[in-house]
Structure 1
Amino acid sequence: MGEHEVIEQDKSKFIDSLTVHLSKLSRKMLKIDTREEVLKYITDSFLNVFNCDVVAIGIIEGDQLVMNSSGEESSKLDVLFPAKDINPLLLEGSMTKENDLLAHDSVLRNYFDDNNFSTWFTMPISDEDIAHGLVIVGYQEDTILYDEMRSHFDELGEYVAIVLDLINRNKHKRKSMFDMHLIANQKDHDTTVDELVSIVTGFSGRESQSNSAAIYLFNEEKNSLIMQPATYGYVKKDSIIELTEDNLLNTYFPNVERVGHHSITVPLTVDMELIGVLYAEKDSEHIYTGYDLDQLEIFGNYFSANYENMQLINKEKEQKKALENMLKVQQEMMKFTIKSDGFTEMNEKLGELLNSSIILYDRFFNVIDFYLHDDDVFSKQAVKEAGMYARKNRTLKQVTFDFVINEDYIFDGMPISDGKEIHAYIGIALPDNFDMELLALTINMIKNVYSLQFTKQKIAINAQEQIKGSFVE
């Protein structure tokens, strides 16, 4: 093997070894989450892996290159910082002493020549024309730097720039979330949906540099998506979006979770169910980027989480209010069991509690009494016929069944019993919005109160029979 072949083989091995080292550097940086740690890691790696004598990393601040990280021996490079009017060539690609394009009187070149550095090179930290800084490396003794190494260092510099950009974005996201959460916490604990909308649209519009931002929430009764008050800027889109049979969000809002356009839409969901959208627009000269989408999704998730929490709190308040009302009605109904032996006032109170008409049959499905609520209209004969029909058609195994009156009114029928025998049957038309979590408690209350009244009647009848028997004797 000739000398040239040996040199080429050594060169190939060195380049391969360099590639492995740079790959390890890249993977390691993925686990680092602060800029200071990344730059220190790069500095230490150049000193330890590439055995250089001095290394320094300058970060661009304004129009200057300012020292950010360096090795212990690299204080000699302090004189190079801060650097003003940075030569653009240094930020376009890696440069070595042998292939530099700098002017002969450049500060960097003169420094290394004046201080007898045999070899030096630079590595830009830049990606997609966005320059973050520059790595400067020097060797006191002659060191071979193959021209093929430059492309590998350029790739490393791009990777460092990407990592720094991700760290900056995450830091900015965390700050935005902290600021938004701080503002939300400064409000009263009874923050309204409108106030939450105002906070989220404000941050969404400012952080994404949008002209406008708005939140639309789904209204089930109107089958529409309705723009909520407190938008950011002027929103050109209609305030009410009526929904048709087509349930695809793209039909009503453009660019759902798509970047590269002047507008963008982020779905808002709670438990995998769509509750609305966050919609934003920029002017015709700007588009939404992947970073904008990440930001808006974070704000959207923040809104959804807090909106769900508000709904749960409101539901808890409504349940508490309904429970208090039910207990109050129960107390009133219990009073009637003391004052009277009938069911008219009890049916009325129960009907008011449930917003329902009430029908009451004895155990043979004969009408005892009924209460008409609001605009319900039907006759006693119709109630009687419904009872007879249920008696003939229900099976003995059916615990609950329906009472149908005039084919228009459907009542949920259930037995009233004391656990030993059935006293009667009651029919209730529960409203659609009735809290189902209170249903079991409500039914138990109804059964207990009515069963008590029937038991009271039975005791009274037995007492009368005993009195009659005693009188006859």
Structure 2
Amino acid sequence: MSIVDKKEKLKKKIDQHLRRITRQLISFDTVQETLNYLLDSFYKEFTCDLVAVVLNEEGRLVPKSWIGEGFKVGETLQLDIDSCSPNLMRDALWWPNHKEEQVTCAFHEAMQKESLSTWFTVPLMNEQESFGICVIGFRGFVPLIIEAEEIFTQFGHDVAIALHAAREKERQKRKIKGMEWIKQNIFPGSSIEQVIEKVVERAGKGTQATMAAVYLFDENNSQFIFHPPAYGKADLLENVKWQAGMSLNSHFPFVEQTGGMKLTVPLIVHLKTIGALYVYKEDEPFSDEDLEFLTFVSDFVSMQIENARLYKEELEGKKRLERIMAHHQELVKKMVDGEDISDITKTISSMLESSIMLYDRFLQPISHHFEEGKSSLQPIIEEKVAAQKKQVMQLRSKEMWLDESEETPCVVWPIVGGRDVLGYAVLNSKKRRVDRVWRLTLDHALNTFAIEFIKQKLVLDATEQVKESFVNQLFEERMEDKEKIIQYAALTNWNIMEPHRVAVLTFSMEENDRDVVMMEEYKSWLWEQIKTRLTSYDPNIIFTRKNNEFIMIVKVNDTPPAVYWQGIYTRVIELMKQESPSSQVYIGIGGKAKRIEEYYACYMEAAKAASVTMHRRSGGYSFYDDLGAYSILSQASDQVTAELFVKKKLGPLMEYSKNNQVDLLYTLYMFLQHNGNLRKASEELYIHRSTLEYRLERISDLLQADLNNGEVRFELMMAYKLYSLFDVGTISPS
């Protein structure tokens, strides 16, 4: 038999053997069984010294199984594919037939270390992927049949198909076992702790991991939080802060990436990441099979964890609503019982689980309640409110966040009754807490505050009206029921028969930023603040109001009047500087009322004194008895006569000043005040002396009067005093 015939016969024998092996390989259910049969078949049939299967795992050759004594392929064939010949994974290599190739190859060098004289490789690859290579080696020289290379190459394709099929079978078996495990261990209604305990145990044991843990994403705090229990022991971060715009890889190691000692698999429900499954090994890196197993586990348990979380939230929401209803009932009871606003604020603070400060419509603090350990927030919140006072007072319906930081977040909500803003509630609460239930609770709280404000206002208004209806009868020219006034005074512990003084207080303020209604309300509020301030100075002062006049009735005491009323005025001015710096306050003080019938006269004196004080702009308070000519004029003149006299004497100047930029009315007033001294008058008017002379000539022409005549000056000065006394107009520079 020729050599050719022998080669053909051997080639046919090899082909038949490989086909027989291929048929058997398809029947195995696991990769390991497939590899073991492959190795045994080659080792027995070809009487070789080494048969090894080296698989491709993430760009690295890893020996998985081998037969042969005295070899260290477990160490020598642990190689990076990039360091090997480019055709190692796709072509069958035959040594020493390919010895002439001048290629630097780590695989060739490794085979030389194993002292193999003859070896060949079979690439295990199909159309989809390259699994690795099968290596057959001989210590002695064995002639290789080059013609059989194609047969071995085709055999490699068949083995790759068998390995792929075995892997799929293993996957299916793991899935079936996993489904059975989930069915047996995780039940509907399990708590989130129970689900996680089973998950980490399954993940740890299924991958031979040292530790397994679950982190759940907390949307409110934008962080992943470790949720116990964990499997095994390891140092874990309690939470991982989420950075917006960054991927999960930036927060956890080896996300869905094998080859490391750590591995992270995201927990996803409806394309939304709800957490992460994190595992750790000490002895060997995680493989593709480990990743596949953990991915399968995460796919099935993510929904279970989410369901358990939603059930827990629903349960907590139910308890939360029960607490709110309990607080609601308590709040209704407090309102019915007429509890103090401080008690109501405390209950609302508990309802909202938030510290709260209550302000009136002019941003004056009324009450507050701080959660335990947060009382230090009061000055911080007061400072923030004061810094943005103007913007806050423009709120009508929506909230305004003064600070959204994590340290001192606070938000202002207007308290509205009808169309009016009655006050403001400032809460120390994080923005992410403002959910639907919280808003509904807050709406109820704000309505409660609004009702309480309205109730208090009605009570105060009713009390004030009763008081004013009696006291104001003292200030009528004809007193209707003297006995009733005396009875009311007795009920309020006021000895009306003792000597008293009556004072009238008036405000002068800019009206640019407030409408008429709000201006009057603001004056009323200022009056309340003044009453509070002066009560601490003299608790016996009786306060009332008649139309737009604010009235004080003060018992005559041993303190000198100038000292006493200077104390009154000083305290009022201090308050005004604090609350309304651009406003002015004037006080007129009448004479002593020693009998009940004299209160009206004293009130009229105080009103006249207040009017003169305001128009003269000379000091903030005046005694009627110190007005001199004004007191004579007030008793000798009536309103109509006074107006006629003023218009006759000063009418041309009033008309001229109204229609021109030069205020001749004020110019003449300052000239008369300085007794005709041109130098002092011009300095007071901030004009040149020649300008003043020109104006005086113009005034003489308009009035048809000689300003150097003493009688003319007297009449003009009298006109000015009547002008101020009867409030015909205001003398001020234009």
Whether 1:180 aligns to 2:181 is: yes
Equivalent residue for 1:266? 264
Whether 1:328 aligns to 2:329 is: no
In structure 1, give the amino acid aligned to 2:27: I
Whether 1:313 aligns to 2:311 is: yes
Aligned with 2:348: secondary structure? helix
Structure-2 separation of matches of 1:434 and 1:397: 22
Check conservation: 1:268, 1:301, Cα contact below 8 A: no
Structure-1 separation of matches of 2:402 and 2:252: 47
1:359 to 347, 353, 357: 357
1:238 to 235, 239, 246: 235
Check conservation: 2:25, 2:162, Cα contact below 8 A: no
Q: Deviations over 1:276-307 (max 9, x none)?
A: 442143745xx543222211222234444433
In structure 1, give the amino acid aligned to 2:413: M
Structure-1 separation of matches of 2:168 and 2:25: 17
Structure-1 separation of matches of 2:241 and 2:364: 49
Equivalent residue for 1:59? 27
In structure 1, give the amino acid aligned to 2:155: D
Check conservation: 1:354, 1:430, Cα contact below 8 A: no
How far did 1:329 drift? 1.0
Structure-2 separation of matches of 1:368 and 1:402: 20
Structure-2 separation of matches of 1:61 and 1:310: 37
Check conservation: 1:214, 1:227, Cα contact below 8 A: no
Aligned with 1:238: secondary structure? coil
Check conservation: 1:214, 1:278, Cα contact below 8 A: yes
Whether 1:164 aligns to 2:165 is: yes
The number of aligned residues is 341
Structure-1 separation of matches of 2:466 and 2:370: 38
Structure-1 separation of matches of 2:445 and 2:386: 23
Check conservation: 1:367, 1:387, Cα contact below 8 A: no
Check conservation: 1:91, 1:125, Cα contact below 8 A: no
Check conservation: 1:201, 1:215, Cα contact below 8 A: yes
Structure-1 separation of matches of 2:378 and 2:250: 53
In structure 1, give the amino acid aligned to 2:41: P
Whether 1:444 aligns to 2:443 is: yes
Equivalent residue for 2:191? 191
In structure 1, give the amino acid aligned to 2:399: T
Equivalent residue for 2:278? 278
Q: Deviations over 1:364-421 (max 9, x none)?
A: 33333333443444799999887666544546257434679xxx97642221113422
Aligned with 1:259: secondary structure? coil
Equivalent residue for 1:46? none
Q: Deviations over 1:71-117 (max 9, x none)?
A: xxxxxxxxxxxxx9998269999xxxxxxxxxxxxxxxxxxxxxxxx
Structure-2 separation of matches of 1:317 and 1:211: 35
Aligned with 2:27: secondary structure? strand
Aligned with 1:59: secondary structure? coil
How far did 1:189 drift? 2.2
Q: Calculate the TM-score normalised by the size of structure 2.
A: 0.37
Structure-2 separation of matches of 1:331 and 1:128: 75
Check conservation: 1:227, 1:239, Cα contact below 8 A: no
Runs of 4+, deviation exceeding 6 Å: 55-58, 84-87, 90-93, 124-130, 146-149, 218-221, 241-254, 378-388, 462-473
In structure 1, give the amino acid aligned to 2:185: A
Equivalent residue for 1:203? 202
Aligned with 2:293: secondary structure? helix
Equivalent residue for 1:426? 425
Structure-2 separation of matches of 1:410 and 1:240: 27
In structure 1, give the amino acid aligned to 2:307: N
Check conservation: 1:225, 1:276, Cα contact below 8 A: no
Question: Which structure has the larger Rg?
Answer: 2
In structure 1, give the amino acid aligned to 2:162: A
Q: Calculate the TM-score normalised by the size of structure 1.
A: 0.55
Aligned with 1:364: secondary structure? coil
Aligned with 1:349: secondary structure? helix
Q: Deviations over 1:29-67 (max 9, x none)?
A: xxxxxxxxxxxxxxxxxxxxxxxxxx99983589xx9xx
Check conservation: 1:226, 1:241, Cα contact below 8 A: yes
Q: Deviations over 1:316-340 (max 9, x none)?
A: 2222222221222122111222111
1:290 to 264, 285, 288: 288
Distance 1:297 1:363, change over 3 A: same
Check conservation: 1:211, 1:283, Cα contact below 8 A: no
Distance 1:367 1:276, change over 3 A: same
Q: Percent identity?
A: 18
Distance 1:283 1:439, change over 3 A: same
Identify unmatched segments of 5+ residues in structure 1.
1-54, 66-83, 94-123, 131-145
Distance 1:57 1:353, change over 3 A: closer
How far did 1:172 drift? 1.6
Check conservation: 1:361, 1:424, Cα contact below 8 A: yes
Structure-2 separation of matches of 1:392 and 1:456: 27
